């Protein structure tokens, strides 16, 4: 009886200990349930039904491995990817890599802010550009006035609202779970589906999130010179990443399943407002309101993480960590948000703009992945914690898959 009591106490302590490490993964998760994902997933579900569910599964598996690897870099070295590039990669090559990552962060922020603006239009009939200005202003205030820990709590709240919203939506949809499960594990590339496949991939595995995870994993400021603490953080980080990415997988899959309603009714969705309005007769008025509210929270939350990523990437150019009180972090945040806002003012078709922004991310992605593999496989950078042969092979396979899909997209485009 005493032994059982001790085991119960140990389990409680383990759970309490784990909770201290939960957070960075959730913060990163919101980046791949953003408005860009909504567009890609709705396009996938409304155009091809269940057939593209497999790319969400594959992307999430790759994402878990890549985010885990990026987080390890941050934990072991105390550097984010951008700082590590500045320190360990040839200056000219490093700047090209980092600047393309900044472009990816701007592209991401554009999708997020545009999504929030579309949500405001859905809810209040607000003009798109005014909604974008208001959303961008709110995001800048959030980033400039809140500490990381406060933002993390807000993001967790946003993710909860988004998740509950889509779980609610799936209960309203008639789903063939047998076909859904089969399509989730068996790859299929229907005619003309490659651009959407690439947009889904780019929407799930996002370059700026790899940079961000390597930064925010250090936010706890643990004493990493103590090997026991380092080992514990390495252990719990994977649990945090795995749990968070599974939550993202469920929400992304739910988006496609909800969009299958349009496919069954032979409705081609070409804009998010159309998807929301069409949900009224198909699923009822409550579904369209929930859709718009969830989109607003997704846009605001993911814009915050995109801004943080841009600040981290830009500060890393100068060998500095992300700190919103630092001028380079502030500059990176403003570049990310303001440049994305400028792009929004020149977009004629928001839905296509969102879709192509995700394709751009997938094209930049191999650059970030190859750089990350180089850094985390280096004994000079990682010491005894460098990638094992199995980890290295797995990462190279992922890099190969992403590169091949990008080549297929380019061939398909021409």
Mean pLDDT of 229-235: 74
Handedness of CA 216, 220, 225, 229 (dihedral sign): negative
Domains defined for the chain, CATH in brackets:
25-413 (1.20.1740.10)
Q: What is the pLDDT of residue 168?
A: 82
Q: What is the pLDDT of residue 389?
A: 96
pLDDT in tens, 177-205: 999 999 999 999 998 898 888 888 877 78
Rg (CA), the chain: 21
DSSP state, residue 341: H
**More confidently predicted of 162 and 249:** 249
Going from the C-alpha of 13 to that of each of 79, 239, 325, the distances in angstroms are: 30, 16, 36
Distance (Å, rounded) from C-alpha 74 to C-alpha 24? 12
Q: What is the pLDDT of residue 182?
A: 96
pLDDT band for 9, please (50, 70, 90 cuts): very low
Mean pLDDT of 50-67: 94
Tokens of 107: 């592209």
For residue 219, which of 322, 101, 102, 336 has the smallest C-alpha distance? Answer: 322
Is residue 101 within 8 Å of residue 208, measured between CB atoms?
A: yes
pLDDT at 412 over 90: no
pLDDT at 413 over 60: no
Q: What is the pLDDT of residue 277?
A: 75
Is residue 26 within 8 Å of residue 152, measured between CB atoms?
A: yes
- Residues with Cβ within 8 Å of residue 300, at least 6 apart in sequence: 112, 116, 135, 138, 139, 142, 158
pLDDT band for 225, please (50, 70, 90 cuts): low
Q: What is the pLDDT of residue 3?
A: 52
Q: What is the pLDDT of residue 18?
A: 55
pLDDT at 211 over 90: yes
Using a pLDDT cut of 70, give the percent of the chain over it: 86
- Residues with Cβ within 8 Å of residue 188, at least 6 apart in sequence: 51, 52, 54
Within 10 Å of residue 158's Cβ, how many Cβ atoms? 22
CA angle 153, 217, 304 (to 5 degrees): 45
Query: DSSP states of 353-387 as a string?
Result: HHHHHHHHHHHHHHHHHHHHHHHHT-HHHHGGGSP
Is residue 4 within 8 Å of residue 189, measured between CB atoms?
A: no
Q: What is the pLDDT of residue 30?
A: 72
Going from the C-alpha of 356 to that of each of 99, 304, 317, 353, the distances in angstroms are: 19, 21, 27, 5
Per 3-state DSSP, what percentage of the chain is helix, strand, and coil (rounded to 5)? 80, 0, 20
* Stretch among 118-127, 251-260, 278-287, 312-321 having the lowest mean pLDDT: 278-287
For residue 308, which of 230, 379, 413, 212 has the smallest C-alpha distance? Answer: 212
Q: What is the pLDDT of residue 2?
A: 47
* Stretch among 134-143, 144-153, 279-288, 372-381 having the lowest mean pLDDT: 144-153
pLDDT band for 226, please (50, 70, 90 cuts): low
Tokens of 167: 């779980």
Give Cα 329 to chain centroid, integer Å: 20
Token pair 């890549």: residue: 66
Distance (Å, rounded) from C-alpha 347 to C-alpha 171? 35
Q: Mutual orientation of helices 81-88 and 285-316 as an angle, nearest 10°?
A: 20
Mean pLDDT of 263-270: 85
Mean pLDDT of 167-172: 82
Q: What is the pLDDT of residue 7?
A: 46
pLDDT band for 315, please (50, 70, 90 cuts): very high
Tokens of 168: 């609610």
pLDDT at 5 over 70: no
* Average pLDDT score over the chain: 84
pLDDT at 169 over 90: no
pLDDT at 367 over 60: yes
Distance (Å, rounded) from C-alpha 361 to C-alpha 108? 8
Is residue 52 within 8 Å of residue 196, measured between CB atoms?
A: yes
pLDDT band for 170, please (50, 70, 90 cuts): confident
Q: Mutual orientation of helices 350-376 and 207-216 as an angle, nearest 10°?
A: 50
**More confidently predicted of 409 and 209:** 209
Tokens of 134: 């208001």
Is residue 13 within 8 Å of residue 276, measured between CB atoms?
A: no
* Stretch among 97-101, 127-131, 350-354 having the lowest mean pLDDT: 350-354
Within 10 Å of residue 133's Cβ, how many Cβ atoms? 16
Q: What is the pLDDT of residue 230?
A: 73
Mean pLDDT of 284-303: 84
DSSP state, residue 220: T
Mean pLDDT of 335-363: 82
Prediction pTM value: 0.85
**More confidently predicted of 98 and 160:** 98
Is residue 135 within 8 Å of residue 303, measured between CB atoms?
A: yes
């Amino acid at each position: 009886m005493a032994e059982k009591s001790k085991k119960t106490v140990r389990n409680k302590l383990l759970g309490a200990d784990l909770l201290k490490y939960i957070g960075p993964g959730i913060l990163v998760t919101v980046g791949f349930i953003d408005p860009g994902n909504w567009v890609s997933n709705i396009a996938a579900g409304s155009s091809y039904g269940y057939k593209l569910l497999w790319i969400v599964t594959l992307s999430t598996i790759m994402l878990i491995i890549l985010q885990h690897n990026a987080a390890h870099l941050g934990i072991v070295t105390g550097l984010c990817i951008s700082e590590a590039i500045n320190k360990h990669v040839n200056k000219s090559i490093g700047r090209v890599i980092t600047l393309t990552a900044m472009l990816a962060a701007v592209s991401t922020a554009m999708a997020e802010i545009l999504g929030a603006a579309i949500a405001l239009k859905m809810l209040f009939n607000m003009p798109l550009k005014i909604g974008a200005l208001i959303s961008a202003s709110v995001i800048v205030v959030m980033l400039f006035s809140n500490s990381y820990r406060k933002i993390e709590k807000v993001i967790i709240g946003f993710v909860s609202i988004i998740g509950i919203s889509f779980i609610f939506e799936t209960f309203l949809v008639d789903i063939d779970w047998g076909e859904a499960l089969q399509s989730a594990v068996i790859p299929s590339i229907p005619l003309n589906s490659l651009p959407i496949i690439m947009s889904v991939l780019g929407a799930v595995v996002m370059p700026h999130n790899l940079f961000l995870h390597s930064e925010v994993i250090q936010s706890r400021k643990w004493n990493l010179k103590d090997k026991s603490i380092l080992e514990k953080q390495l252990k719990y980080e994977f649990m945090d990443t795995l749990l968070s990415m599974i939550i993202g997988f469920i929400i992304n899959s739910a988006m496609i399943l909800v969009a299958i309603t349009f496919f069954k009714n032979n409705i081609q969705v070409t804009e998010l407002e159309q998807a929301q309005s069409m949900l009224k007769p198909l699923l009822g008025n409550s579904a369209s309101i929930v859709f718009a509210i969830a989109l607003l929270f997704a846009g605001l939350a993911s814009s915050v993480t995109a801004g943080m990523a841009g600040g981290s990437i830009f500060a890393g150019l100068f060998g500095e960590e992300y700190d919103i009180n630092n001028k380079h972090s502030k500059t990176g945040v403003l570049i990310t948000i303001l440049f994305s806002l400028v792009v929004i003012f020149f977009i004629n078709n928001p839905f296509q703009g969102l879709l192509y922004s995700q394709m751009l991310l997938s094209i930049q992605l191999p650059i970030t992945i190859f750089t990350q593999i180089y850094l985390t496989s280096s004994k000079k950078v990682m010491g005894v914690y460098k990638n094992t042969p199995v980890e290295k092979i797995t990462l190279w396979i992922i890099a190969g898959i992403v590169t091949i899909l990008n080549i297929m997209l380019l061939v398909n485009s021409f």
